Copies of this chain bind each other. A is one copy, B any other.
Amino acid sequence: MGAERGLDRGWDEGHRGLDVALVGATGAVGRELLGLLVDAGHPRGRIACHARRRQSLELGDRGRFEVLPADAIGRADLAFLCTPSEVSLALAPLLAERGARVVDLSSAHRTRPEIPLVVPEINGDRLDGDPRIVANPNCTTAIAALPLAALDRAARLLEAIVASYQAASGAGLAGLNALAGETRAAAGLRSAPPEASPFPATLALNVIPAVADVDGEGWSGEERKIEHELKKILGRADLVVESTTVRVPVERCHSVAVHARFARAISPAEAREVLARAPGIALTDDPHGPRPRECAGTDPVHVGRVRAGARGAGSLCFFAVGDQLRKGAALNAFQVAARLPARR
């Protein structure tokens, strides 16, 4: 990731003067956010890391950080909550009351109509009113939303059918550790005991065809989020969204196969032009890409396999891949914060 340091992600002198609280700093997303802050030149003395208990955090060649318990959070100008929903629900209003702008990466505030749910390239204008609490979207949603929003602006999206190929990192460090342990076991190595897994079945050499719990109507929590959040981010309550969410043995990039339908005809050539111009998207010509292993650790949502569908001139299919820990989580939250006013 060293080659990407110094990338302009919109973090300016004003933002570097803010006192930042990073809550849930020791998880997979928290560590990624801490890396983004350090790489953006944020002064280490202005970053307060918090987690459930006091510890220290080693972040590769970026050095060691002291982590204080969550109940020791002091005054902050900006707070990132990489915390479970129930923690975010309690913490966000408290921190906002104390004067912090809060970016919540959990699902706690996403469905509340008065709280903006933001992918800056799509609905960054929702930040113009300087909201105190901003919700960061679900990882799969953020990755699917970027190309869909660009195409929606061009040809008005009617219907999005999404099948996902979701990485282990979506279940945090526990997910990554479980996959690594199971992969060693699949290779015939059984030196270490198998890691406790957050998944309902072995993920190595397998796919698990529902992410999160499944409700009484047969839809998974992840599929409900994708439907609700796509509608909210695109500002299109009338959108038809169907998805199947599937966990696959991949480390940190989520992929989506999208079969879309638009109000007007849109050719693959026009769609590629639209996508090539859209911020945050990298278009690939690889007939067998984009692929999650090769996209890991990169910022953009990678899009390929753009082709005409079989459901009339308005139907279009594509495949998109984004780093679940970057655009799917930490990077999007960082971009949200970068667009908020750099005021105390």
Using CB atoms and an 8 Å cutoff, list the residues of chain A in contact with chain B: 159, 161, 163, 165, 179, 183-184, 186-189, 200-202, 204-210, 213-214, 217-220, 227, 240-242, 244, 246, 248-251, 255, 257, 259, 268, 287-294, 304-311, 315, 317, 319
Assembled-state Cα–Cα distance A185/B268 (Å) = 38
**Complex contacts, A308 vs chain B, CB 8 Å:** 217-218
Task: Please state if B209 and A242 are interface contacts (CB–CB under 8 Å).
Answer: no
**Residue of B whose beta carbon sits closest to that of A289:** B209
Q: How far is the CB of A257 from chain B (nearest CB, A)?
A: 4
What is the count of identical protomers in the complex?
2
Q: How far is the CB of A121 from chain B (nearest CB, A)?
A: 23
**Residue of B whose beta carbon sits closest to that of A162:** B163
Known: A214-B288, A242-B317. 5 other contacts (CB 8 A): A209-B288, A217-B307, A218-B307, A244-B317, A259-B259
**Contact with A244, one of B268, B311, B319 (Cβ below 8 angstroms):** B319
**Complex contacts, A250 vs chain B, CB 8 Å:** 205-207
**Complex contacts, A248 vs chain B, CB 8 Å:** 165, 207, 248-249
Q: A227-B310, A244-B257 are in contact. Are A305 and B209 (CB under 8 A)?
A: yes
Q: How far is the CB of A247 from chain B (nearest CB, A)?
A: 9
Task: Please state if A311 and B240 are interface contacts (CB–CB under 8 Å).
Answer: yes
**Complex contacts, A204 vs chain B, CB 8 Å:** 183
Task: Please state if A257 and B268 are interface contacts (CB–CB under 8 Å).
Answer: no
Please list 13 pairs of residues, one from A and one from B, whose beta carbons are closer than 8 Å in the complex, sorted by A's number. A161-B259, A165-B165, A202-B293, A205-B249, A209-B289, A209-B291, A209-B304, A209-B305, A214-B288, A214-B305, A217-B308, A218-B305, A246-B319
Task: Please state if B315 and A200 are interface contacts (CB–CB under 8 Å).
Answer: no
Task: Please state if A209 and B241 are interface contacts (CB–CB under 8 Å).
Answer: no
Assembled-state Cα–Cα distance A203/B294 (Å) = 11
Task: Please state if B209 and A251 are interface contacts (CB–CB under 8 Å).
Answer: no
Assembled-state Cα–Cα distance A207/B321 (Å) = 10
